[in-house]
Amino acid sequence: EEAFVYSRFGNPTVTMMERRLAALEGSSGCIGTGSGMSAILMLVMALLKGGDHIVCSQSVFGSTIRLLQDFAKFGIETSFVSQTDVGQWRAAMRPNTKLLFAESPTNPLTEVCDIAALAEVAHAGGALLAVDNCFCSPALQQPVKLGADLVIHSGTKYLDGQGRVVAGAVCGPAELIDAKFVPVMRSAGMSLSPFNAWVVLKGLETLSVRMQAQSARASTLARWLQEQPAVERVYYPGLASHPQHALAMAQQSGCGGAVVSFVVKGERAGAFATIDATRICSITANLGDTKTTITHPASTSHGRLSEAQRQAAGITQGLIRVAVGLEDIVDIQTDLQRGLAGLA
Ligand SMILES: *Cc1c(COP(=O)(O)O)cnc(C)c1O
Tell me: the pLDDT tens digits for 182-236? 999 999 999 999 999 999 999 999 999 999 999 999 999 999 999 999 999 999 9
pLDDT band at 313 (very low <50, low <70, confident <90, very high): confident
Q: Whose CA is nearest to atom 2 of ligand 1?
A: 154
Looking at residue 3, its pLDDT comes to 85
End-to-end CA distance of the chain: 70
Q: Phi and psi for 238 in degrees, rounded to 5?
A: -80, -10
Looking at residue 335, its pLDDT comes to 98
Looking at residue 227, its pLDDT comes to 97
Specify the amino acid at residue 167: A
Looking at residue 155, its pLDDT comes to 98
CA of 46 to the centre of ligand 1 (A): 19
Residues 47 and 172: beta-carbon distance below 8 Å: no
Which helix (H) or strand (E) is 307 found in, with range? helix 307-313
Residue 75's nearest CA partner among 51, 43, 98, 41 is 51
Query: Which of ligand 1's atoms lies nearest the C-alpha of 134?
Result: 13
Residues 109 and 239: beta-carbon distance below 8 Å: no
Looking at residue 310, its pLDDT comes to 86
CA of 152 to the centre of ligand 1 (A): 9
Looking at residue 311, its pLDDT comes to 85
Looking at residue 303, its pLDDT comes to 87
| DSSP for residue 59 | T
Residues 29 and 19: beta-carbon distance below 8 Å: no
pLDDT band at 308 (very low <50, low <70, confident <90, very high): confident
Instruction: Please compute the mean of the pLDDT values over residues 49-62 and round it to a whole number.
Output: 95
Decide if pLDDT at 266 tops 80. yes
Looking at residue 69, its pLDDT comes to 95
Residues 98 and 54: beta-carbon distance below 8 Å: yes
Looking at residue 71, its pLDDT comes to 98
pTM above 0.95, yes or no: yes
Ligand 1 binding pocket includes 32 (Cβ within 6 Å): no
Residues 315 and 298: beta-carbon distance below 8 Å: yes
Decide if pLDDT at 1 tops 80. no
Instruction: Please compute the mean of the pLDDT values over residues 123-152 and round it to a whole number.
Output: 98
Instruction: Please compute the mean of the pLDDT values over residues 301-318 and round it to a whole number.
Output: 87
Instruction: Please compute the mean of the pLDDT values over residues 129-158 and round it to a whole number.
Output: 98
Instruction: Please compute the mean of the pLDDT values over residues 259-278 and round it to a whole number.
Output: 98
What is the best residue among 37, 104, 112 to mutate for testing ligand 1's pocket, by most ligand atoms within 8 Å of CB?
A: 37
pLDDT band at 304 (very low <50, low <70, confident <90, very high): confident
Decide if pLDDT at 309 tops 90. no
- C-alpha radius of gyration, the chain, whole number: 20
Decide if pLDDT at 119 tops 90. yes
Instruction: Please compute the mean of the pLDDT values over residues 19-31 and round it to a whole number.
Output: 98
Decide if pLDDT at 2 tops 80. no
Q: Phi and psi for 54 in degrees, rounded to 5?
A: -120, 140
pLDDT band at 305 (very low <50, low <70, confident <90, very high): confident
Find out whether the peptide bond into 105 is cis, omega within 30 degrees of 0. yes
pLDDT band at 253 (very low <50, low <70, confident <90, very high): very high
Residues 338 and 280: beta-carbon distance below 8 Å: no
Q: 118: which residues sit within 8 A by CB, 6+ positions away?
A: 86, 89, 100, 102, 129, 148
pLDDT band at 81 (very low <50, low <70, confident <90, very high): very high
Q: How far apart are CA 262 and CA 294, in angstroms?
A: 11
CA of 38 to the centre of ligand 1 (A): 9
- Looking at every residue in the chain, the average pLDDT score rounds to 96
What is the best residue among 154, 170, 286 to mutate for testing ligand 1's pocket, by most ligand atoms within 8 Å of CB?
A: 154
